[in-house]
Amino acid sequence: REMTVTFHAFEPADVVAIDLQPSQNGRLGIYEPVRDLQHGFDLQEMGPAWTARDADGRILICAGVGHVFPDVQGTAWALISNHFGERRASAGRVLRFGRAHLDAMPFRRIEAIARANAPRECAFLEAMGFERCAVMRAWGPLSEDYVLYERVK
């Protein structure tokens, strides 16, 4: 099948439709999202966001940046599908789009976190142009280790 990837504005229903990677289920720090339409609206309200779908219409990723300090600092988020990376060409298109999208944003600083025990999440952030800047040991109510990443212009 053709390696087509389409990109569109994130829709709240995408949160319910995505086949999320197991490492992204459950509590993230102090936040335990319920993957429902309201969670989708909450993510949409944070700031600019997009969704990528493969040729079969499956969601590969939903991602966005929430405003911390408008147009100066943001926090990136991503919901990554089990299907992301099945086709190398599709993953490459998503990464190129994502990096270009982040580069075009007005933010001077964008940060993101990933569980330290989730190497695929860390590799994804590094492929998106984020640099590892700190390890947050025993962070959040579950006392998990997280890695803080940043992109600074």
pLDDT (tens, 9 = 90+) of the chain, 153 residues, equals 556 899 999 999 999 999 988 877 765 544 566 778 888 999 999 999 999 999 899 999 999 999 999 889 999 999 999 988 888 888 899 999 999 999 999 999 999 999 899 898 999 999 999 999 999 999 877 788 999 999 999
DSSP result, the chain = ----EEEEE--TTHHHH--B-GGGSS-BTTB----SHHHHHHHHHHS-EEEEEETTS-EEEEEEEEEEETTTEEEEEEEEBTTTTSSHHHHHHHHHHHHHHHHHS--SEEEEEEETT-HHHHHHHHHTT-EEEEEEEEETTTTEEEEEEEEE-
Global pTM?
0.89
Residue 56, exposed/middle/buried by CB under 10 A (0-12, 13-18, 19+)?
exposed
